[in-house]
Amino acid sequence: MQSFQFFPMTHKVNKNSLPRVKIIQKIYGFLLNPDDVIIYPKNQYRKYIKDVVSGTLERIELIEETILKHIDQDIDLKRTDKLLKIILYSAVYELMFKHNIPKNVIISEYVRSAEFFLEKAQLGYLNAILDKLSKIIRKD
């Protein structure tokens, strides 16, 4: 009989970061299959997830323009990893249009959610970029 060794999960699941993980997944799925309809299953964050996903996709040019206008020297969007770009776009959307959520919460939740998708070095880069953008986009 073979025994299996179980390893503890390295990522702690925070229920507040789960909507952001779903947002990243929905946008990634849509960009891979633009003809598919995005389905939003019932859960307590459904409206929020739908708002951020549809808002990000509808305003993707404005978001990209904002990023390039303020931090063009810090990032080359043509060479940036697709997942990192999706996370950046959705976080910038929230910074621009979801003023009821504090900017520090947006940054920390996206960085925490990005742990599921990105390497450790990219997390620091994402945090620095979002911090710089948040100070420019929101002056509160």
Contact 103, 134 (CB under 8 A): yes
| pLDDT for the residue 16 | 52
Three-class SS of residue 13? coil
What is the third-level CATH fold of 18-137? N-utilizing Substance Protein B Homolog; Chain A (1.10.940)
Domain layout of the chain by residue ranges: 18-137
Backbone angles phi, psi at 32, to 5 degrees: -75, -35
| pLDDT for the residue 15 | 53
| pLDDT for the residue 17 | 52
| pLDDT for the residue 137 | 92
Closest among 135, 44, 33, 24 to 90, alpha carbons compared:
24
How would you write the pLDDT of the chain (140 residues) with one tens digit per residue? 555 454 444 555 555 558 999 999 999 999 999 999 999 988 899 999 999 999 999 999 999 999 888 887 777 767 778 898 999 999 999 999 999 999 999 999 999 999 989 899 889 999 999 999 999 998 85
Stated pTM of the model: 0.84
| pLDDT for the residue 9 | 47
| pLDDT for the residue 103 | 94
| pLDDT for the residue 111 | 95
| pLDDT for the residue 105 | 94
Three-class SS of residue 62? helix
| pLDDT for the residue 6 | 46
Show Cβ contacts of residue 10 under 8 Å, excluding neighbours closer than 6 positions: none
